Structure formats: C-alpha cells, structure tokens
A and B are shown apart, each in its own frame.
Chain A
Amino acid sequence: MSSQPAFFRRLGRYYLIYALVFVSFVGLLAVAEQFGLSPRWIGQIFLFLTIAIYAAIGVMSRTSDVSEYYVAGRRVPALFNGMATAADWMSAASFIGLAGTLYYAGFEGLAFVTGWTGGYVLVALLLAPFLRKFGQFTIPDFLGARYEGHFARVVGVFAAVLASFVYVVAQIYGVGLITSRFIGIEFEIGVFVGLAGILVCSFLGGMRAVTWTQVAQYLILIIAYLVPVAILSYKVTGVPVPQVMYGQVLHDLGVKELELFSEPRESAVRLLYQGRADEYARKIAALPESLTTERLALVQKANDLRAQGASAREIAVAERLLRDVPRTPDEARVKWDRVRQDSLARTMHPPPHAEAHPGADQAARDNARNNFIALVFVLMIGTAALPHILTRYYTTPSVREARRSVFWSLLFIFLLYVTAPAYAVFAKWEVYSSLVGSNIETLPHWVASWGRVGLVKIDDINGDGILQLAELSINSDAILLLVPELAGLPYVVSGLVAAGGLAAALSTADGLLLTISHALSHDLYYKMINPEASTQRRLVITKSQLLVVAVVAAWVASLRPDNILFMVGLAFSIAASAFFPALVLGIFWKRANKWGAVTGMIAGMGVTLLYIVRTHPFFGGSMGDAWLDIHPISSGVFGVSVGFVVIAVVSLLTPPPPPEVQALVDYVRMPDGRGKH
C-alpha cells in the first residue's frame, strides 16, 4: 500500500481524467445528435455506458479481504469519502423528486432542503468521530458492544433491515422508472437492468468497490444536475449561476403569480372545475343508477354518430369513452372520486411560491408551521441515524479524517440541495410566463410527446384554445426533466439528466444493500450464530445474502407497489427513533445501560410504527387519530422523544453498566490510543 498523500494524489488524478473523459464524451454525443443520432440511441448509450463504467470499477476493486470488503480497508481519504457519502445519500427521490416537490409545495418543501442537510451537523458533532474511533464494521456492532450483548444487536439489525429495505426497493423502483420513461425500455426489464447495475458494483468488491463507484457516480450526478439549470439561468438572467440568480426570478414570479391569480379567465376556469366537481359528487351520490344512465347515454351517442355518418375519428373517440366507463359501481366510485378530487384541487389557485405556511385560517397556518418544524426535525435526526450513511465513516483512515469527511459530505450534498429550489423557481417562472396564456395549438413539441406518456396533461375545459394555469397539470417527477426542454436544449442533456438520476438511484441502492447484507451476515450470522466461521466462509455468506436481498428487492419493486416513494419518508422516522437516542446516549451518557437501550429502541420504534398505522391511509388509519395534527411522515418526532425518555428512565432504574463498558465509552471519546480497547 502506498503512503496516504501519494494515494490521494493518484486518486485525484484518476477521477479528474475520468470526469474530463465523461464531459468530452457528452460533447461528442451532442455533436452526433446534430448529425442525426436518435434520442432513443442517446438514452441507451448513456444507460449502458455508465453501467459499464460502474461495472469496470467494481471488477477492478474486487477483494476477498474482510476489512476491504466491509470498510474499504479504512483508507478512504476524507474528500473522497465525502463524495461517496454524498452519492450514497442522494437517492432517486432527491435527484428526481425534490425539484418537483419544491415546485408544488413552494416554501413548505424547503423542509426537505433544510432537514436533509442539517442532519449532517448531528453526524459530525455527535456520531461520526466516535463511531470511527470505535472502528468496527456495522452500527449493530456498536450497539452490541456498548449495550453488552445480542439483545441490543438484534434490535439494531431489525431496525437497520426494516428501514433500509423499504428504501432500497424505492431505489430499484426509481431505476425502473428512469429506464422506462426516458430510455424507452420496459419497466420490468429496467428493474433488472438496475439490479445488474447494482450487483456489478457491490458483489465482487463490497464496500471497497461501492466506495470507488460512488465517487464516480457522484461526479456524474452532480454534473447532470447542475448543467441544465445553469443554462436555463443563463437564458433567463444572463448569469449561469442559478443558486445566486433565482432570488430575482422568485421576486418576478411573485408579481406574475398575483397577475395570473386575478386574471378573469383563470377565475372562470376555476369555476368550471367547481362545476365538474359538483357534477361528479352528484353522480357518486346517485350510484348505481348514474352508472347505467352514463353507459346508456354513451351508447346512444355512439349510435347517433354512426347514423349521422360522422367521421371515423369522432366515432373512435365516442367508442373509447364507452370502453373507459367503469364496469362496476365500486370501480365507478373510486374513479369518479379521483376526478372529483382532481377538479376540486383545481378550483383553488396554488399558494404563492414564497408564502410560508399557507392556510385558510390561522389554525391551518399554525398547523402547517408545526408540521414544517416537525418534518425538519425528523429528517435531520433520521439523516443522522441511517445506518448506510453512518457506516461510511468507518472507512476513513483516522478520527480527524472522519470529522473532515463529514464536512466534505455536507459540502457536496449542499451543491445539489441549494440548486433544487432554483430548479423549481426557474421551471415555474418559465411555465407561468411562457407556457400559460399561449395558444394550445402552438405549444412546443415536447408538450405533446410528454402528454402521450402521461407526464403532462392539458384539459381545455373552457374550450377557448388558450392554456390557463388551472388547465395544465405536470407530473411532479417531470419538473426536473422539464428544465432541459424549457431551456430548449438538445436531447443529449435530457439523456445526461437520466444518467444522473440513474447514478443517484444506483449509488444509494448499493450502500443500502451492503448495509442489509452486512447486518444479516456479519451481525446475525458471524457474531451470533457462528462466531467460529472462517474469513472465507463469512464472505461467501455475505455475498449470498447480498444476492438474495437484491433479487427480493428487485422482485418487490417489479410489482410496482403504490406509495413506495412515500414509504421512503417513513424510513427516516423508523431509523431516527430506533437508532438516534441509543447511539447518542451510548457515547455521551455513561450511565445508559443495556436495559435502557433495548427498551428505549423498542419503545421508540414501536411508537413510530403505531403512529404511522394509526394515521396513514395506506394502513387504514386517518388523520382524525393524529396527535397535535402531526402528519405520519413526521411520526419520528414522538418516537425519538419516547426513545430518549425511556432510555433515561429505565437506565436509572437498573444497575449501571459494568466497568469494561464504561472504559469502552472512554475509549471512543478519545481520538488517540488512550483508554482501554
């Protein structure tokens, strides 16, 4: 092994060359597009080329050394560990979803921006340096050592697997979505392409391979995220630094919003939607007769058209309407209620983008504010408790490097999160100022092609041939991809964005998969079932677990579970309430003992899960059962508080931990070799 500075320089050189090659390759594709390379080809070249790069890094980093496989040999320099953590951290949801969330939620969406960055302060101050000093392989390792034994370890394994599995399914689902929508292969095939992409990185080389691929993936995803919005910013403001310029645009957007919201035609359209909502409410109330009437009316209409000798196109439209009529009253109730809800949502104009905590009255506003604060809190604590992030800090050469590596992680993550609100504002500005109010016949080409895949819907309810804001609906995930189109950029940029999204999803999936398989093979098998296992056997077990978990996750993702993206939000609450109190008190409070930790983790996680089941419609709960009107996504607020209280109370009621555990606490607190090991 070469010395650390030489190693650092060599890595720097490699990744610089890699980034330059990648950028010139994108340039080459742009030229090829001018000469007629089709978008379909561009998408597929991006997909297969980037996966080939990751595979190459994965194969080059193959290893059969336990320390290399679990913690990359503990010699990842702070800067590179920062990049790897950033890629590990930023998921498909951050990359694709965040811009759309901010577009629709305005100020309220900023809870994600603040929450997902502020958590790193807690990682830096409370966890990373101490976990690095502890220097084992997994988070349950720490719980097992600090809280004497298998009980705490098992609870840790359960929580780590639960939180990570939901999350990894969502990543693979995201890969399927990206490949099917933007590269044009089927969703199920996309899922298995994603699976292959994940396995080539992690299978042969474990943490070592995943680390070096994640650095490569970070470079691709950040380039892909920054380029389109920088160009749009240049077009709108003349300065290609969107993070600085969007303040001005936000101000202009505020003026534009007032103008649009008071426009007579907008108000007329919103009234029409109110009418439609009322009509569907009547139809739902009159079920099942209304369904029969509707079907008869459509049959009559189709027959009339045929009798009048109308054009084939008109008849086809009438027949399609007939085919789409719900078959049963139950189906009709669901379908019509969806239309009613959608129309109802369009009767009100959206809140102004910069308005904080909007609501109809003071109570609603206070409620929005409380939920905003609660969400920020949960996202921060959850960030500081996700096992796949914390284990990354085991891989640095020293405690000091672990601390600095949190700084680099946060800086690299900051680059994306500080840009996301700019995405939303620029996209909204373009939509409001150049799309809305124009003639529907002459809308840009991409509107029609996105309409075909259902990402954009235009419904000219007042038939005036002009697009009103209320008549337009854009899928939230499409906002990010809207920006290259709005800026009038060639398709190669859209392909680049898709490659970035893919990198974000794959890198996160890799980290999560390692966490799950290490928890199962290292903590469950090696530490508890068979401590005598040979190194070789441990690695075989790890790799087979990895394979099984990956295939199961891909299978679940291919079933297209509804609500999966929402459940990712729940992973934060679960991780926060299970791990954060036990980890932090384990380092900062010597008196915390085994019984306190075990009961605290179970109670915290239990309260969180109970609250989610009580309040989330997916589990049949309702917000009527909520405490303080806190939404289920922030259920961790209660779980974390309960966790801290229970650990403190139960620890004080039971005997203090033995001297060797107290010595371990002293040991992790000191960056040098002092204290016992």
Chain B
Amino acid sequence: MSQNVNGSQGESDARSRAYWRATLRLTTVLLLVWASASFLPGWFADELNSVVFFGWPLGFYMAGQGSLIIFICIVWLYDRGMVRLEKRYGVKDEG
C-alpha cells in the first residue's frame, strides 16, 4: 500500500523487523505467564490446597478465580505493550 515517506525502503524494513522482534519478545514473555497460570495450579493443586486464602483452599481459588484474573491482566498488558511498541517504532494503526 503506502510507502513510508520519511525514510528509504531499507530503513523502513529494518524498523519493521525490529518492531516484529520486539512483538515476539513481548508475546513470548506473556505466553510463559499464561502457561504457568493455566497449568501449574492444576498440576500442584494438592500442594496449593493446603494453603488457605480467605477461606478458599489456594488450589481451588487459583483454578476458579485467580488464574482468570491473571488472564485478564495478560490481555490488558499486551494491549498496553503493543501500543508502546507501535509508538516506539513509528507503526501507525490503520484505524
């Protein structure tokens, strides 16, 4: 579609690549958090259940509520992070 008017083609490509690498880094970190929140509470449920958290056994709390809150935070952080990356690398959202 449109060319980047401020720089040469090469510079723009390099910026795109750097933007994509940064995106991958952010995605990987958040996916690791996601995987831990998803699978560790189920795997270590017995151990966690021996801890009581406001009346809940902790394992039950995590699978029923805690992990869910972490998921919401991940998606929110991803949006914040991507907005920052777009600014830093001069990528404009189409809309």
Q: Which residues of A line the B interface, CB within 8 A?
A: 107, 110-111, 113-114, 117-118, 120-122, 124-126, 129, 133, 243, 247-251, 354-357, 369, 372-373, 376-377, 380, 397-401, 403-404, 406-407, 410-411, 414, 417-418, 421, 588, 666, 669-677
A114:B95 contact, CB within 8 angstroms = no
A354-B49, A354-B60, A376-B42 in contact; A117/B91 too (CB < 8 A)?
no
A125:B31 contact, CB within 8 angstroms = yes
Q: Which residues of B line the A interface, CB within 8 A?
A: 1-2, 4, 12, 16, 19-20, 23-24, 27, 30-31, 34, 37-39, 41-43, 45-46, 49, 52-57, 59-61, 63-65, 67-69, 71-72, 74-76, 78-79, 82-83, 86, 91-95
User: Nearest A residue to B34 by beta-carbon distance?
Assistant: A121
A356-B49, A373-B43, A400-B93 in contact; A407/B59 too (CB < 8 A)?
no
Q: For A355, list chain B residues within 8 Å (CB).
A: 49
A384 to B8, CA, bound (A): 38
The number of residue pairs between A and B whose CB atoms lie closer than 8 Å in the complex comes to 165
B68:A117 contact, CB within 8 angstroms = yes
A121-B34, A357-B45, A417-B68 in contact; A113/B63 too (CB < 8 A)?
yes
Q: For B63, list chain A residues within 8 Å (CB).
A: 107, 110-111, 113-114
A674 to B90, CA, bound (A): 11
User: Could you show 21 A-B contacts with beta carbons less than 8 Å apart?
Assistant: A107-B45, A113-B68, A125-B27, A247-B53, A247-B56, A354-B57, A356-B60, A369-B42, A373-B39, A377-B38, A398-B94, A400-B83, A400-B86, A400-B93, A411-B72, A669-B23, A670-B16, A672-B91, A672-B93, A673-B92, A675-B1
A110-B64, A125-B27, A674-B4 in contact; A118/B59 too (CB < 8 A)?
no
A421 to B74, CA, bound (A): 22
A369-B43, A403-B82 in contact; A247/B71 too (CB < 8 A)?
no
Give chain A nearest CB distance to B51 CB in angstroms: 12
B45:A369 contact, CB within 8 angstroms = yes
A406 to B77, CA, bound (A): 12
B39:A376 contact, CB within 8 angstroms = yes
Known pairs A248-B54, A671-B94, A674-B2. 14 more at Cβ < 8 A? Answer: A113-B64, A118-B34, A124-B74, A125-B30, A125-B75, A354-B49, A354-B56, A369-B42, A369-B43, A400-B83, A400-B93, A417-B68, A671-B92, A672-B94
Give chain B nearest CB distance to A6 CB in angstroms: 15
Q: For A380, list chain B residues within 8 Å (CB).
A: 38
A121:B92 contact, CB within 8 angstroms = no
Contact of B64 among A121, A369, A421 (CB under 8 A): A421
B93:A671 contact, CB within 8 angstroms = yes
User: Nearest A residue to B63 by beta-carbon distance?
Assistant: A110
A676 to B24, CA, bound (A): 21
Give chain A nearest CB distance to B68 CB in angstroms: 5
Q: For A407, list chain B residues within 8 Å (CB).
A: 72, 75-76, 79
A118-B37, A125-B27, A418-B64 in contact; A675/B16 too (CB < 8 A)?
yes
A250:B56 contact, CB within 8 angstroms = yes
Give chain B nearest CB distance to A595 CB in angstroms: 25
A125-B27, A400-B93, A677-B1 in contact; A247/B61 too (CB < 8 A)?
yes
Q: For A673, list chain B residues within 8 Å (CB).
A: 1-2, 92, 94
Q: For A672, list chain B residues within 8 Å (CB).
A: 91-94
A672 to B85, CA, bound (A): 13
Q: For A110, list chain B residues within 8 Å (CB).
A: 60, 63-64
Q: For A675, list chain B residues within 8 Å (CB).
A: 1, 16
B46:A357 contact, CB within 8 angstroms = yes
B91:A121 contact, CB within 8 angstroms = no
Contact of A398 among B24, B34, B38, B95 (CB under 8 A): B95
A118 to B42, CA, bound (A): 13
Q: For A373, list chain B residues within 8 Å (CB).
A: 39, 42-43
B42:A120 contact, CB within 8 angstroms = no
Contact of B60 among A107, A369, A666, A676 (CB under 8 A): A107
